[in-house]
């Protein structure tokens, strides 16, 4: 399971949202035609940043994720939305967009994450042991740099 340690402030996924909106019609699309429609809609919303080729790659990846999740079906080169799955997907997207606009994020505050973490060192002995290990590494790195410095001039002398 992947865990994230950095702060993430990602907004709503506009590409997947537009893909779902276009595929909610009863028509089926080849990727090229689907991308042209999605790209135009994203340009109108001023959300088509990063270049057309990069957007094409992102849209294709999102489309494959939707296929894998069962929200879209693929027959040959044609993609078609599954109506019931698209409705629940759009409801989820609407809820997430509203939460993001209100400033409500799904992540726990850092203090709660640290207290529940099994890997955090809380004892004084544990922190002293960690400092001792890191100082040993610094000494080894320092010695390694000295060895490199003596080897380089010998190599240049040849």
Report how far apart, in Å, the C-alpha atoms of 64 and of each of 44, 49, 57, 72, 77 are: 24, 21, 11, 9, 12
Residue 121 sits at φ, ψ, to 5 deg, of -95, 120
Q: What is the mean pLDDT of residues 79-108?
A: 84
Instruction: With H, G, I as helix, E, B as strand and everything else as coil, classify residue 78.
Output: strand
pLDDT on residue 32: 95
The residues spanned by each domain of the chain are 14-106, 126-158
Place 96 in a pLDDT band, splitting at 50, 70 and 90: confident
Average pLDDT, the chain: 74
What stretches of 3-123 show up as alpha helix (H) in DSSP?
Answer: 14-23, 31-44, 52-69, 83-102, 110-116
Q: In the predicted model, what is the mean pLDDT of residues 10-31?
A: 87
Which pLDDT score, from 0 to 100, does residue 20 have? 92
CA 122 to chain centre: 31
* Cα–Cα distance, 58 to 88 (Å, whole number): 22
- Rounded Cα distance, 27 and 78, in Å: 10
* pLDDT exceeds cutoff 90 at 117: no
Determine the 3-state secondary structure of 71 from DSSP.
coil
Q: Quote the pLDDT of residue 99.
A: 85
**Residue 104's pLDDT is what?**
75
Does pTM top 0.75 for this prediction?
no
**CATH 1.10.10.10 for the 14-106 domain, yes or no:** yes
pLDDT tens profile 43-85: 888 877 778 899 999 999 999 999 999 999 999 999 999 999 9
pLDDT surpasses 50 at 9: yes
Instruction: Give residue-wise pLDDT tens across range 123-146.
Output: 445 555 555 555 555 445 555 554
Write out the H or E segment, with its range, that includes residue 148: helix 124-157
CA distance 96 to 60: 22
Q: How far apart are CA 130 and CA 149, in angstroms?
A: 29
């Amino acid at each position: 399971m992947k865990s994230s340690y950095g702060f993430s402030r990602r907004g709503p996924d506009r590409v997947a949202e537009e893909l779902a909106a276009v595929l909610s019609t009863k028509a089926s699309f080849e990727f090229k035609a689907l991308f042209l429609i999605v790209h135009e809609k994203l340009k109108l919303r001023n959300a088509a940043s990063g270049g057309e080729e990069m957007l094409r790659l992102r849209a294709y990846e999102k489309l494959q994720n939707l296929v894998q999740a069962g929200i879209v079906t693929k027959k040959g080169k044609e993609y078609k939305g599954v109506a019931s799955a698209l409705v629940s997907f759009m409801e989820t997207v609407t809820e997430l967009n509203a939460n993001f606009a209100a400033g409500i994020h799904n992540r726990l505050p850092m203090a709660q994450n640290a207290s529940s973490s099994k890997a955090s060192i809380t004892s004084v002995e544990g922190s002293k042991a960690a400092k001792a290990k890191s100082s040993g590494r610094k000494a080894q790195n320092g010695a390694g740099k000295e060895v490199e410095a003596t080897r380089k001039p010998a190599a240049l002398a040849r």
